[in-house]
């Protein structure tokens, strides 16, 4: 399902994503975890900020792929379009 058509109404999914993000933030910034694992403090700009453009690009590519699979017409013989056969997994 596409993120744009389905939306984010699944409360369990939202709970899981929120829990995962909170665990990552706690593991990265909570001082007792740093002491227990022997790691140094994190600088905020190094903790996931450089990845944001790549994550947005990946989301755009996946949504474009889904749109093209749904919108391209079938071949004259009734088979799925070449893009659907190549990109649908």
pLDDT, position 32: 87
- Range list of β-strands (E), the chain: none
pTM, rounded to two decimals: 0.54
Report the half-sphere exposure of 69 (CA within 13 A, side-chain side).
14
pLDDT, position 3: 61
Residue pLDDT, tens place only, 43-56: 777 777 788 899 89
pLDDT, position 58: 93
- Residue extents of the structural domains in the chain: 1-47, 48-89
User: By percentage, how much of the chain surpasses pLDDT 90?
Assistant: 10
Task: Say whether pLDDT at 60 is over 90.
Answer: yes
Give, as one character, the DSSP assignment of residue 76.
T
Other Cβ atoms less than 10 A from the Cβ of 84: the count is: 16
């Amino acid at each position: 399902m596409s993120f744009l058509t389905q939306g984010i109404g699944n409360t369990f999914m939202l709970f899981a994503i929120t829990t995962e993000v909170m665990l990552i933030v706690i593991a990265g910034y909570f001082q007792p975890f740093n002491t227990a694992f022997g790691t140094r403090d994190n600088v905020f700009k190094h903790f996931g900020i450089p990845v944001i453009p790549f994550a947005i690009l990946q989301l755009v590519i996946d949504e474009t792929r889904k749109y093209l699979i749904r919108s391209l017409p079938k071949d004259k013989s009734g088979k799925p379009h070449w893009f659907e056969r190549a990109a649908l997994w």
